[in-house]
A = this chain, B = another copy of it.
Amino acid sequence: VAKKDLSALFLHGLKDINFTEHVILDSLPIMADAATSPNLKKAFETHLQQTEGHVQRLDRVFGLLDEKPVQVPCDAILGLIREGDEMVEKFDGGRALDAGLIAAAQAVEHYEMARYGALQAWAEELHLREAADLLRQTLSEEKQTDLLLSKLAQESANRAASG
């Protein structure tokens, strides 16, 4: 019988976010490529580097649990990425593209904020202090990225989109 307690839920969540981070690694160069403004391109490129760090932190958390860094496919992130692709298809060549890309990226950031928020609370409850610290560091970077994207939208992309 499969375990159905918090440590099982925590391990399942780690495999899900591990898949998510790898999908995002593949997606960010496409987003950077599609972006019109140099500032937004740079934000996506910076976040790509951060995301490589997030994968390394997850590897360390799996190591702390003596588990392999398995990935479990996750429909949510695939749907979120598909919406980003759709944004490019629909708004490519138009002045609202960057505003749409930012919104798609912020939906991804929010997904990760929800996941890392739960994971770090579960790690605390399980007294996995070091794992909780690593997860909190990534959570904090996701929140910063979300704020940076809001700033780019408000300071330039939304204005540019409305013409």
Contact = CB atoms under 8 A, between A and B. Distances in A.
Main secondary structure of the interface of A (DSSP, over half): helix
B5 A94 contact: yes
A117 B107 CA distance: 10
B79 A117 contact: no
Contact of A114 (B109, B161, B163): B109
Interface residues of A, number: 54
Given A79-B80, A118-B103, A150-B117, A90 B4 contact: yes
**Copies of this protein in the complex:** 2
Contacts of A9: 91, 96, 99-100, 103, 161
Interface in A92-145: 92-97, 99-100, 102-103, 106-107, 109-111, 113-115, 117-118, 121-122, 125-126
Given A9-B91, A12-B90, A121-B153, 20 more contacts: A4-B91, A4-B97, A5-B162, A5-B163, A6-B158, A6-B161, A6-B162, A8-B94, A75-B83, A76-B76, A76-B80, A76-B107, A77-B79, A99-B118, A102-B118, A107-B114, A109-B114, A121-B150, A121-B154, A125-B158
